[in-house]
Amino acid sequence: MRNFTYTGLPSRIVFGSGTLGAVGDEVSRLGGNRVLLLAGPRLENLVADLTAQLGTRVVARFDGAAMHTPLEVTTRAMELAETSAVDCVVAIGGGSATGLSKALAVRGGYDQIIVPTTYAGSEVTPVLGETVDGVKTTRSSADILPETVIYDVDLTLDLPAAITLTSSINALAHAVEALYSAERNPVTDLMALEAVASISRALPRVMADLHNTDARADLLRAAWLAGTCLGSVGMGLHHKLCHTLGGSFGLPHAPTHTVVLPHAMAYNAPAAASVMERISDAMGVPDAAAGVYDLVASLGGPVSLAELGFDTESIPRACELATAKPYPNPRPVTPSGIGGLLADATSGIRPTANS
């Protein structure tokens, strides 16, 4: 048997269809009177809806959230929050809008209501990644965890196919790494396996019909479960590599997860055979790593880091950064092992459990 520790996360989750209409009540529930509205791009209609709903309680709006939460953007938004004397942040959008909200909350102590429109899962984690001078570092604290998350499946129906696919694999990565985390426990195992099964079943249905509300709801629920795993237990090699590639090489977050995940799984497979078996069973495929690669490839997603703009000359620097500090991972992380993994991911070959 394995000993374990489990701490539940105290977020309030509102899930459903039409739940965007609950934002006003949820702001009142938190006692918010002066709201800063953070919105990701392409969400003008939703912002108009929220502005009408919250009325004069919206005292400021900031639209400049950027991927990997660069410090200079946070500094500008923080100035606005302070001069507007806000007491609550409402963020609508993907993980970039959520990241900025968390960065403000940890500095200013604001309550947060997050309305996610992707499957990134950041809204249910007490983790904040920030980028300063090209280096991304993460920290974790109870102040970072949003008070309330409002999932509205309707908001995901227009999420473009490419983002739908890569963001879902980002969620899948949280579940996969939770299953072999040193801190895993029976609750995260249940959530992670359900997320793996749900994503592998729902994603092809959503990609065949982006407006399939039931399948979209399955994906969003899985993203919540996977994000909760991410917020509850430590991640391993895959997340470390993606942070390095995103923070120091400017690669896009979700597409990078999509390319790297099967290779990180293949690397860890020899040291986590029983976990990979549980994942392959949940997905209904013979091999977990190859199954994830095939899922992505069959749906037209990115399979190589080269197509995201990464080149082989950058591999030594990426290895150096990703192995600079030790971190728990099922299989020991060595520069030559990571070099091989990155070479495979850069070229985009189909991984196998023994690669």
Which is it for strands 148-152 and 111-116: parallel, antiparallel or unpaired?
parallel
Measuring CA to CA, which residue among 82, 85, 98, 79 is closest to residue 57? Answer: 85
Nearer to ligand NAD, 235 or 353 (CB): 235
Closest approach of ligand NAD to the CB of residue 185, in Å: 19
Nearer to ligand NAD, 122 or 268 (CB): 122
Nearer to ligand NAD, 100 or 269 (CB): 100
Please check whether residue 267 is in contact with residue 331, taking contact to mean a CB–CB distance below 8 angstroms.
yes
Nearer to ligand NAD, 159 or 289 (CB): 159
Nearer to ligand NAD, 59 or 179 (CB): 179
3-state secondary structure the chain: CCCCCCCCCCCEEEEECCHHHHHHHHHHHCCCCCEEEEECCCCHHHHHHHHHHHHHHEEEEECCCCCCCEHHHHHHHHHHHHHCCCCEEEEEECHHHHHHHHHHHHHHCCEEEEEECCCCCHHHCCEEEEEECCEEEEEECHHHCCCEEEEEHHHHCCCCHHHHHHHHHHHHHHHHHHHCCCCCCHHHHHHHHHHHHHHHHHHHHHHHCCCCHHHHHHHHHHHHHHHHHHHHCCCCHHHHHHHHHHHHHCCCHHHHHHHHHHHHHHHHHHHCHHHHHHHHHHHCCCCHHHHHHHHHHHCCCCCCCHHHCCCHHHHHHHHHHHCCCCCCCCCCCCHHHHHHHHHHHHHCCCCCCCC
Closest approach of ligand NAD to the CB of residue 334, in Å: 26
Closest approach of ligand NAD to the CB of residue 152, in Å: 10
Question: Rounded to an integer, what distance in angstroms lies between the CA atom of residue 58 and that of residue 150?
Answer: 18
Nearer to ligand NAD, 141 or 347 (CB): 141
**138 — phi, psi (to 5°)?**
-120, 150
Closest approach of ligand NAD to the CB of residue 257, in Å: 8
Closest approach of ligand NAD to the CB of residue 153, in Å: 11
Closest approach of ligand NAD to the CB of residue 49, in Å: 13
Closest approach of ligand NAD to the CB of residue 251, in Å: 11
Nearer to ligand NAD, 122 or 346 (CB): 122
User: Rule CB under 6 A: which residues touch ligand NAD?
Assistant: 40-42, 67-69, 93-97, 99, 117-118, 120-122, 125, 127-129, 155, 158-160, 163, 167, 170, 230, 253-254
Closest approach of ligand NAD to the CB of residue 155, in Å: 6
Nearer to ligand NAD, 104 or 290 (CB): 104
Nearer to ligand NAD, 25 or 44 (CB): 44
Closest approach of ligand NAD to the CB of residue 168, in Å: 10
